[in-house]
Amino acid sequence: MNVAMILAGGVGKRMGTGEVPKQYIDIYGKPIIVHTLEVFDLHEEIDGIVVVLSQQWQTEMKTWLRQYDLNKVICLAEAGETRQASIYNGLCALDGRASEDDIVLIHDAVRPLLSRRIISENIEAAKAYGAVDTVIPSADTIIKSTDGSMLHSVPLRKELYLGQTPQSFKYGLIKAVHEKARADKIADASDDCQLVIRYGHQVKLVQGDKLNFKITIAEDLLLLKALLKLGKREEVS
């Protein structure tokens, strides 16, 4: 079984959208998270979806699942205080449903432009390697500064990649890693692959793409809307 876990616990403080977290902002008639869910819902290799979100949005989510005919969502899990806690809750929600070798694809709700290819390649690589990260090569030079004021070093660009999601794992592996992290009092890991490496497991890279960007700030939302507007055209005869 291949299960997508959609992380929707963020509050969107950097969007300037008031009370509405970014994943629930309406884009041409649908919340962003619905666009994201549809990508997984229509993918032939995805068997189920877990949505991790705060309690206060669960009623709306249930409404959207019916309204937009999203049939693969098997459960809703409550978001935690941190990303790590949210993912752990999502994994626990799969207890009894997923087996050790099932694949879990963990994806940000605010990356609605995920392609079918990336999902397929994540699943294939996760089955072979157990852990997968989606990345794109860094087009820009990355500067390291330890104080935010002065340049400390310039790492070799060809060795640098930008991390995206999904990050995909065998269920048994990622669950065990989270259990260990909790036992080791690690509570705020912002990246699951980081945790997996910490506990001695290799992570395979899958090529992402630039369109699979994360809607984090207001400019990202503008970019998404502009991209969709570009695709709209009047019919000609």
Partner 1 sequence: MIARNYRITAPYQFEVQVDLIEAQDNEAIVRTEAGAICKADLRYYTGQRERKILGLKYPLCLLHEAAGTVVKDRTGKFKPGERVVPVPNVIDPESCANCSQKVCEDPALGENYCPAAKFASSSADGFSREYFTYPVDYLVKIPHSVPTELAVMAELISVANAATRRLPLSGKEKVIVFGDGILGFILTSVLLFGGIEDITIVGGSEKRLANFPVPVKINYHTDPLPQPQFDLAFEAVGGGASEAAFESISQVLRPGGSCCLLGVAEEKIRINSRIILEKGLCFAGVTRSSRNDFVKAMNQLTDEKFASLIKSSIIAEAAVGDVVDFKNEFEYALSHKGFGKRVLRFNF
| Cis status, amide bond into 21, omega within 30 of 0 | no
> Which lies closer to partner 1 via its Cβ, residue 117 or residue 152?
117
> Which lies closer to partner 1 via its Cβ, residue 66 or residue 233?
233
Angle between helix 171-183 and helix 83-93 axes, rounded to 10 deg: 130
> Which lies closer to partner 1 via its Cβ, residue 48 or residue 130?
48
Measured from the CB of residue 36, what is the shortest distance to partner 1 in angstroms?
9
Cβ density class 119-139: b for 16+ within 10 Å, e for less:
bbbbbbbbeebbbbbbbbeee
> Which lies closer to partner 1 via its Cβ, residue 10 or residue 112?
112
Rounded to the nearest angstrom, the gap between the alpha carbon of residue 216 and the centroid of all alpha carbons in its chain is 13
| Residues engaged in binding partner 1 (CB under 8 A) | 28, 35, 38-39, 42, 44, 69, 112-113, 115-117, 120, 211, 227-228, 230-233, 235-237
Measured from the CB of residue 210, what is the shortest distance to partner 1 in angstroms?
9
Measured from the CB of residue 211, what is the shortest distance to partner 1 in angstroms?
7
The two beta strands, 131-137 and 161-170, are antiparallel
Measured from the CB of residue 237, what is the shortest distance to partner 1 in angstroms?
5
Sequence-distant (6+) residues with CB within 8 A of 110 are: 10, 22, 23, 32, 33, 36, 214, 215, 216
> Which lies closer to partner 1 via its Cβ, residue 70 or residue 94?
70
Measured from the CB of residue 25, what is the shortest distance to partner 1 in angstroms?
14
Angle at 142 between CA 141 and CA 145, to 5 degrees: 140
